Structure 1
């Protein structure tokens, strides 16, 4: 059901555009802002605020150095993620990140401003939107073009490293797909950081979400279609797990 956004929720997100606020904190604030509504209306009210602010987000991006194409592609991720994963499956924090200009699309990839490594080092986060094949040449162009855009958008958060956290950085992916697979070639751009305590727990859920578009229990029961789904399922059928790892690469 379509609902009109609460002015206070729109004001909350509008004030955060371009300020690189922590998305999880902003999502919690937005959830609190709609908490007095009936339980069944809260999600719709939160997303109504996200939708309402997107034109302002696009305008801010263009005013601060992004092209109109970058801005349109950036905010398009809200509908794309909502349609594919739903609000809960995506997470309100991601929608807040897009709506406040923290996540910006440049060519084939998305880049996150305000990211940090575990040791506090500034980074530019790298994400892969669901917009088709992960062509290596298209990724090359995105990595080449992004630094100028990101520096203009957030000159106080210039980074010297890219960071990516994904199940596709599982070190066993090449053995499953072969070294020439686009996902493998993407993962090889990054140097893995030491594994963390939660990498194994997160990997299976991420693979289920991004490869099958559903939760882990459902993904295990779906007949795989295509090479990637078959590879993910083969590891599960063997009683093994996927990990979610973090990798870095130097900018430039």
Structure 2
């Protein structure tokens, strides 16, 4: 097929040939009305340096470079690549309610499909870096924010045993400038509240707070610095930011039964004053602490037998599950204005 062939493909052609899920096509369908420039990928040498700058481990850098999309060989994947790129540009700096996850492409798309969104994110780096500068992020904060790509690729590879990206919801937010990292913590702009809410009034919003995996301890001093920087940055946003929210298993108050009151996790949890939206999520500590997954609602006993018990936290997670308990994601709220 000629290089221009991908432009003549219809959404139906692409969906049928690649076996794309309905939610993938629903995400891409409006793009034809968005317009904008076609995607241009960085040259191989530039891409290699960029991947290193974004914190990719060597294995992920190698697999990404080996899976570079080719417009002639994979016109359908290039169609997805181009529309995903233009969608990111159209949504730069915008947080939309109900943003869909970017679901992993079907296995039939091979290594190129597993790495396609990595190339989308690489293509938009110049634009998101410009946006970061416009909202006041420092150069270091900008690169640190974008290094979420390296973190997620490494996590996906360890969880699935395969190179490339699994489904992702966080990276599209990072590469539209909506999610960013400020020191030890990550933050994400949210849509202003438009109706009745037990914590927010109409027109108010919060910064969603994340605790990225890190070798750096979650100390009071590090968190203080991150929250202070976030408050200063939020003053430049058009929405009225009145505080912070954190939806995580780290907000599960059952942790107080197992961890000492001086633990960094509990000190972080106690920053939040109100807790809502409690949802069973045994998978969360299993995935985030042990980098393992399981099928079904209950953690298999055989998996619990395999998990290491080196730290107080690891022992707490397993002991609680063995006793018939469950872990929960919960939203903690902290109001600053």
Shorter-chain TM-score category?
Answer: 0.7 to 0.9
Contact 1:115 1:124 in 2 (8 A): no
What is the rounded CA distance, in whole Å, between the counterparts of 1:175 and 1:115 in structure 2?
A: 35
Of stretches 237-246 and 18-27 in structure 1, the one that deviates more from structure 2 is: 18-27
- Does residue 1:67 correspond to 2:138, yes or no? yes
Structure 1 residues 187 and 116: alpha-carbon distance in aligned structure 2, compared to 1, 3 A threshold? farther
Q: 124, 129, 154: which is aligned to 1:58?
A: 129
Structure 1 residues 26 and 246: alpha-carbon distance in aligned structure 2, compared to 1, 3 A threshold? closer
Aligned length: 239
- Does residue 1:3 correspond to 2:81, yes or no? no
What is the rounded CA distance, in whole Å, between the counterparts of 1:76 and 1:147 in structure 2?
A: 22
Q: 185, 189, 210: which is aligned to 2:288?
A: 210
Q: 259, 274, 282: which is aligned to 1:177?
A: 259
Displacement of 1:59 in angstroms is 2.3
Match of residue 87 from structure 2: 12
TM-score by length of 2: 0.64
What is the rounded CA distance, in whole Å, between the counterparts of 2:309 and 2:143 in structure 1?
A: 33
Q: Deviations over 1:156-186 (max 9, x none)?
A: 2231021001101111112211110000100
More helix by share: 1
Superposition map of 1:204-243 within 5 A: 204-216=282-294, 217=299, 220=304, 221-243=306-328
Of stretches 207-216 and 165-174 in structure 1, the one that deviates more from structure 2 is: 207-216
Superposition map of 1:188-199 within 5 A: 188-196=270-278, 199=279
Q: Kindly name which structure, 1 or 2, has the bigger radius of gyration based on alpha carbons.
A: 2
Flag structure 2 segments of 5+ consecutive residues without an equivalent. 1-65, 70-77, 158-164
Deviation beyond 4 Å, 4+ runs, structure 1: 115-118, 216-219
Displacement of 1:246 in angstroms is 0.6
What is the rounded CA distance, in whole Å, between the counterparts of 1:195 and 1:60 in structure 2?
A: 33
Q: Deviations over 1:208-239 (max 9, x none)?
A: 11111221458623222222111111111212
Superposition map of 1:69-218 within 5 A: 69-86=140-157, 87-88=165-166, 91-115=167-191, 119=197, 121-131=204-214, 132-152=216-236, 155-196=237-278, 199-200=279-280, 202=281, 204-216=282-294, 217=299
TM-score by length of 1: 0.84
Displacement of 1:194 in angstroms is 3.6
What is the rounded CA distance, in whole Å, between the counterparts of 2:312 and 2:330 in structure 1?
A: 21
What is the rounded CA distance, in whole Å, between the counterparts of 1:158 and 1:143 in structure 2?
A: 16
Higher relative contact order at CA 8 Å, sep ≥6: structure 1 or structure 2? 1
Contact 2:205 2:243 in 1 (8 A): yes
Flag structure 1 segments of 5+ consecutive residues without an equivalent. none
Structure 1 residues 194 and 126: alpha-carbon distance in aligned structure 2, compared to 1, 3 A threshold? closer
